[in-house]
Structure 1
Amino acid sequence: MKRLFLLTFYLSIFSWGYAQNNSSPFHCIVAADGSGNYSTVQEAINAAPERRKEPWLIFVKNGSYREQVIIPQTKPYIHLIGQDKEKTLIHHRLNVGGKPNEKTPSDKLGYWDWSVHNPQSEVSGFDGTVVKVNGAHFYTENISYVNDWGVESQAGPQALAMSSQADCAAFSNCIFRSFQDTWRTPGQDTYRHYVKDCWIEGAVDYFYGGGTVLVEESTFYNVRSGSVIVAPNHKAAKYGYVFRNCVVDGNQAAADGKQKLGRPWHNSPRTVYIHTTMRIPIAAEGWTNMGAIPALFAEYDSRDANGKALDLSQRKTYYEGRGENPPTGSCRATISKEEADTYVYEQMIPGEDGWNPREMMKKLAAPLQLKIIGDTLRWQSVPSAIGYIVSVNDTVFAITNQIEIQLSNRLKDEVTVCAVNRYGSLGHTTSLSHN
């Protein structure tokens, strides 16, 4: 009898949650359990209109979405909003390794089963990344993007979780995980990215490419000894990669003092770390060689886990490329405070079009005066909110543009309500336990 009651209770939650979506502030809802408009993220992308000038809001409920997601150039302004970054997972298992030969060790053949170049593979012919963003003005928050091959094998070859190749792409409170080449940024140096409060994990060149990319208050997490974080290939970028107020961390294997901040892939790459907390020790030289000479690989105000300023006097300044006649050259390893103060959001991100992703990320206030009266849950409206998400024990109960909903049962569990801003971003929550 108790099991029957619980089943009836939760079925009523799901049915009410679906009914309430008729007044949803989102254009569509993705739910792996079938309670939304679509059960996969790619289905929602396919259904989105082309060439929009305003955000198209897609809400993704907690769930495991094992799929490849491609956002085409013809679909700008996709805003992909997850319910919870720890529980909303877009992932797949794939890599771009070439066909093995007779010299390939037998214990290294496993990658071929999941190579996009293997005609017999489940992922044959796939693009070499779990998610690819070609549409401009993309925004996402509260989602984990994971390449299962990289995470589970803890080995190469290249296995991207994210490839973001559009201008004006913003990422907030997301997780990116793989091993080699976790995230590839734009090939165009003028394309802007803004990344805030994210977790970026890998071991080999796991943040690489070009673009004007500002990363703030995020963690770069290293998963092996000798990890290398960045491998940029900027051609003539003014800023390149700028990391402000970030953390460099890692597992036990990565805490041996052999980690590198980056290496120059091609062209004249640029990367600066400003106000960085190094929770694991970095190799004294800081950087290493690859295929080019950096225009600038530098730091300002790097500190250890205890807040003590690091000695940067041994940082690498002379570089050698590759090939029969390898290029050689040098660049500074530090910048001044005055220079660091120019590597800021206001200089890098708005551009001539006034793009302002921080506005998208603003969390609205938590709804006040949350209370249950009879069979009705009510709360006070939040200024600038276009709607609200009501959850019961992390399960979405209702998505509505109203400030009250009817309850099908007297709830005895925790109820939470958060507001949604015009960009789809989720605000602070208010909770209520009803007994």
Structure 2
Amino acid sequence: MCKLHSLFFLLFSIFSYIKLSKGSQPISKTITVDLNGLADFNTIQDAINSIPDSNNEWIKIHINQGTYTEKVTIPYQKSYIILEGDGSNETFIQWGDHEPIIRPDLDADIKISWNTATFLSLADNVILSALTFKNTYQDLDNPQNAVAALINGDKTSVYGCSFIGIQDTLSDLCGRHYFRDCSVEGIVDFIFGYGQSIYEGCTLNTVSSGVPVGYVTAQGRQQSNDPNGFVFKNCHIGGSAEAYLGRGWGNYSRVLFYQTYMENIIVPKGWIDWRAGYGGNFTTFAESDCIGPGSNTSGRVKWEKELSDDDVKKLTSISTFINSDNWLDQQPNDYGYTSD
């Protein structure tokens, strides 16, 4: 389901990997954005557009504090971009597009998500830091697809960012991603996609709405040999509404919560098979060493998986699950990543 790059971009990625194989790379240039005209650009999109196609040196776009009401896209051909704010409580990117989910098939779901997203990140090698991405659609009695951010590029790391919405808040759509010290807010499938991602030290909050019960995740793994899945490590789940930990968006959906604190909002069954339709025979929904009143597994569905210590270690290890080629080590190291 992930978009295939053209031969040009494949060759470009190989060249870039060779170029970056020696370790953490410096930031070659910093440009700034300010709403009041006190910087290089007034809009984030203009700053992104100024970066040449096929760029292969890290360029930082620092976004001064303020609320930027604009849809923002990092195109496929503009890699090695850092978007950095003054803090997730200081720099906001927001828009309010929304569409009802018809769900004839997965491709239709994805197309709608692309249409509504406040922020689209399509390029490989991107860093996001100290920003809030928000979809301002606020009809709590009628949740619709209203994506705050959609990440479809490989090798994306996200530090100290917030994602705010109601339904489909964060589309962790495709690629290897690392989220650290982030927060995600919503009620229906508010983290969804085919991403191969680790969320470390993140906060996941449900919001009250007209929906009787919510779903934290909807992971879309389609085949048993697909490497993707969502891993939540040392996270915190809370909020104001009951929710399942996840439901299967693909036949082989894979989600693991590890050493995560769960408030008393988790539905006792924990999981729903949903679209997979196989009674959980092929899904990998699991919990390991979690704590808190919502972590009691005695009422969980019978098909929740009990992973071996070795399997848990493989999934929760950054170096094993998402960083086998050391791409995180090759990114500028100013943003808090440390290898495990």
Deviation at residue 85 of structure 1 after TM alignment: 1.0
Residue number in structure 2 paired with 1:29: 32
* Distance of aligned partners of 1:197 and 1:98 in 2 relative to their CA distance in 1, 3 Å threshold: closer
Instruction: Report the secondary structure of 2:255's partner residue.
Output: strand
Deviation at residue 351 of structure 1 after TM alignment: 2.8
Letter in 2 for 1:342: K
TM-score by length of 2: 0.79
Deviation at residue 359 of structure 1 after TM alignment: 6.0
* Distance of aligned partners of 1:98 and 1:209 in 2 relative to their CA distance in 1, 3 Å threshold: closer
* Distance of aligned partners of 1:98 and 1:180 in 2 relative to their CA distance in 1, 3 Å threshold: closer
- Contact 2:187–2:243, Cα closer than 8 Å, also in 1: no
Instruction: Report the secondary structure of 1:342's partner residue.
Output: helix
Residue number in structure 2 paired with 1:417: none
- Contact 1:76–1:136, Cα closer than 8 Å, also in 2: yes
Alignment of 1:115-130 (within 5 A): 127-130=115-118
Residue number in structure 2 paired with 1:346: 319
Deviations 1:87-140 (A, max 9, x none): 1000011102389xxxxxxxxxxxxxxxx99xxxxxxxx832100011111111
Residue number in structure 1 paired with 2:86: 83
Residue number in structure 2 paired with 1:162: 149
Residue number in structure 1 paired with 2:179: 195
Instruction: Report the secondary structure of 2:177's partner residue.
Output: strand
| RMSD of aligned alpha carbons | 2.5
Structure 2 residue runs without a partner (length 5+): 1-26, 103-110
In the alignment, which of 216, 219, 238 is matched to residue 227 of structure 2? Answer: 238
Asked which structure has the greater CA Rg, the reply is 1
Supply the distance in 1 between the matched residues of 2:333 and 2:183 (Cα, whole angstroms). Answer: 16
Residue number in structure 1 paired with 2:296: 311
- After alignment, is 333-342 or 126-135 more displaced? 333-342
Deviation at residue 342 of structure 1 after TM alignment: 1.7
Residue number in structure 2 paired with 1:10: none
Supply the distance in 2 between the matched residues of 1:295 and 1:138 (Cα, whole angstroms). Answer: 30
Alignment of 1:355-394 (within 5 A): 355-356=327-328, 360=332, 362=334
Deviation at residue 357 of structure 1 after TM alignment: 5.7
Identity over aligned pairs, percent: 26
TM-score by length of 1: 0.63
Supply the distance in 2 between the matched residues of 1:279 and 1:167 (Cα, whole angstroms). Answer: 32
In the alignment, which of 124, 128, 140 is matched to residue 128 of structure 2? Answer: 140
Residue 211, structure 1, aligned to residue 183, structure 2: no
Residue number in structure 2 paired with 1:62: 65
Deviation at residue 363 of structure 1 after TM alignment: 5.4
Deviations 1:18-69 (A, max 9, x none): xxxxxx9853100011101111101111111111222111000001100000
Deviations 1:166-197 (A, max 9, x none): 1011110000000000011224xxx2000000
- Contact 2:170–2:191, Cα closer than 8 Å, also in 1: yes
Supply the distance in 1 between the matched residues of 2:232 and 2:45 (Cα, whole angstroms). Answer: 31
Residue number in structure 2 paired with 1:333: 305
Q: Paired residues, what number?
A: 292
Supply the distance in 1 between the matched residues of 2:287 and 2:101 (Cα, whole angstroms). Answer: 37
